[in-house]
Amino acid sequence: MCEKCSSDQLHLPALSRRSVVLGASALGLMLAGTAYAKDTKAPPKPQNVLSPEAALKKLTEGNARYVDGISRRHDFRHEREALVGGQNPYAAILGCADSRIAPEYAFDSARGDLFVCRVAGNFANDDTIASLEYAVAVLGAPLILVLGHDSCGAVDATIKSLKDNKPPPGHIPSLVAAIAPSVKASAQQSGNALDNAIRQNVIDNVARLKSAAPILNAAVEQNKLKVVGGIYRLATGKVELLS
């Protein structure tokens, strides 16, 4: 964990044994309270303090610049200096670990703009949900994008594993287990099986994050957080948002 995250943990009050059992919702309030306490000092990037709708607009505008080949030139030296004392990203991304997918480039973003979690198959497990909870409750991110992409190898491997009833080697079965429900849910859809499974996987993980208690679902209900899904097209770089 980074020095900043460790510092945040030191300032969180210790939970009693009883509160661990009874206070799941209290954890959400505690983290939210930490975020509010930090608001007493100016955020390192004031331009990132946005509504969920404005954050989504900023994200899509950045992708449009990337697609058109007119990405902005970023002053990384001064951005590093500004971010030494903290961070306030305007969006969080749950993306695939595929080397061809780079969210920071795809959305023409600067340092401190995006809080990115990446795992092959872009699915939400306990670790990624916990990381996104931190992004929302502590860092104040108003938007989460689940970003899938076409020709996803993790989804394709899951389809083949289920079809052949043969688990892949090593630790890869853990990826297959996470993606399998979406593959099965899309099996009866017409059209390309891989494309359908990729789309369904994004849809399912958007739903999982929206309902993740006690932090993310509360932020969604209070209109402080928007969770959306999209597909990155390898040929064009365009991110197509899912309705």
Q: Domain coordinates of the chain in residue numbers?
A: 3-242
- pLDDT of 215 > 90? The answer is yes
- Count of residues making up the chain: 243
In the block, tokens 């930090």 appear at: 38
State which H helix or E strand residue 223 sits in.
none
> How far apart are alpha carbons 175 and 172 in whole angstroms?
5
Q: What is the dihedral of CA 10, 14, 15, 16, to 10 degrees?
A: 160
The pLDDT assigned to 25 comes to 47
Q: Which of residues 191 and 37 earns the better pLDDT score?
A: 191
> How far apart are alpha carbons 105 and 63 in whole angstroms?
8
The pLDDT assigned to 115 comes to 98
The pLDDT assigned to 4 comes to 44
What's the chain's average pLDDT?
A: 88
The pLDDT assigned to 73 comes to 84
Q: For residues 43-47, give the mean pLDDT.
A: 94
Q: For residues 120-149, give the mean pLDDT.
A: 98
Q: In the 8-state DSSP scheme, what is residue 11?
A: T
How many helices (H) and strands (E) the chain has is answered by: 11, 5
**What is the side-by-side order of every strand in the sheet holding 226-232?**
114-118, 91-95, 143-149, 226-232, 239-242
Task: Indicate the pLDDT class of residue 15, thresholds 50, 70 and 90.
Answer: very low
The pairing of beta strand 239-242 with beta strand 114-118 = unpaired
Q: For residues 157-186, give the mean pLDDT.
A: 97
Q: Which of residues 228 and 73 earns the better pLDDT score?
A: 228
The CATH number of the structural domain formed by 3-242 is 3.40.1050.10
Q: Which of residues 109 and 35 earns the better pLDDT score?
A: 109
The pLDDT assigned to 94 comes to 98
The pLDDT assigned to 82 comes to 82
Number of other residues whose CB lies within 10 A of the CB of residue 54: 13
Pair of tokens at residue 77:
């030296």
